[in-house]
Amino acid sequence: MKIICIGRNYVAHAKELENEIPVEPIFFMKPDSALLRNNDPFYIPDWTNEVHHEVELVIKINRIGKNIEKQFAHRYYDEIGLGIDFTARDIQAQLKSKGLPWEKAKAFDQSAVLSSTFFPKSIIPDDESIFFKLNINGETVQEGDSGLMIFGFDELISHVSKYVTLKIGDLIYTGTPAGVGPVKIGDRLEGFLEGKEMFDFMVK
């Protein structure tokens, strides 16, 4: 199982990090050792001073595929969940400035929070507007509407599968809306998808 993450898929988030709007999807990967589930606490690693939350919709691949055409991409997933792409922003900034890969900042243990429950994709309306949000200590810090994604689910599946074979159980983190920011010890993070609580855990 692999975790594929999409970068800069919401215009407002690309701008808040002063990045260009991409002309094609940007993706990177996390290993399965990055998963954090069952509302287990997140422990801030000792080698970073700035871990940011990025709440994201997550689609789960349900069949093997390579070079998937966009018109058939909807057949390759049938469940949607919620996750957080934890990012060591200070380390990522160092790596980006040197033109180096992002793995240290993105692929570390516990960096991929995943909801235990998934919704059937039938909840997705035709305009792809699914609402999700992240609360920290009861305050909403990020709100997303997947209808505002630069690249939709089908386009992401099609693009990624040109380069990487998708397999059953693979996860695609589909990018974060604006509002990313640091987490600190003692924070309580709660994620919601269409109003339903998807995860609730502490930062330690």
Task: Give residues in contact with Zn ion (CB under 5 A).
Answer: 54, 85, 176
User: Of the two residues 161 and 176, which places its CB atom closer to Zn ion in the complex?
Assistant: 176
Nearer to Zn ion, 85 or 170 (CB): 85
Toward Zn ion, which CB reaches closer, 85 or 154? 85
The b/e string for 103-128 (b: 16+ C-beta within 10 A; e otherwise) is eebbbbebbbbbbeebbebeebeeee
Q: Least distance in Å: CB of 69 to Zn ion?
A: 26
Looking at beta carbons only, is 93 or 168 nearer to Zn ion?
93
Instruction: Work out how close the CB of 102 gets to Zn ion at its nearest, in angstroms, rounded to a whole number.
Output: 10
Q: For 17-156, list the strands marked E by DSSP.
A: 26-30, 35-36, 51-53, 55-61, 77-85, 87-88, 112-114, 119-120, 131-136, 139-145
SS3 16: helix
- Nearest approach in angstroms of CB 16 to Zn ion is 13
Q: Which residues contact 196 (CB under 8 A, 6 or more apart)?
A: 117, 119
Least distance from C-beta 135 to Zn ion, angstroms?
Answer: 18
Q: Alpha-carbon torsion 24, 65, 177, 152, what sign?
A: positive
- Supply the DSSP symbol for 45: P
Nearest distance in Å: CB 106, Zn ion: 8
- 8 Å CB contact between 21 and 50: no
Closer of 53 and 201 to Zn ion (Cβ): 53
The residue of the chain with the least Cβ separation from Zn ion equals 85
User: What SS3 class is residue 64?
Assistant: coil
What's the min distance (Å) between Cβ of 179 and Zn ion? 12
Q: Which is nearer to Zn ion, 106 or 118 (CB)?
A: 106
> Which residues lie across from 47 on neighbouring strands?
none
Residue among 38, 30, 198, 35 nearest 118 (CA): 198
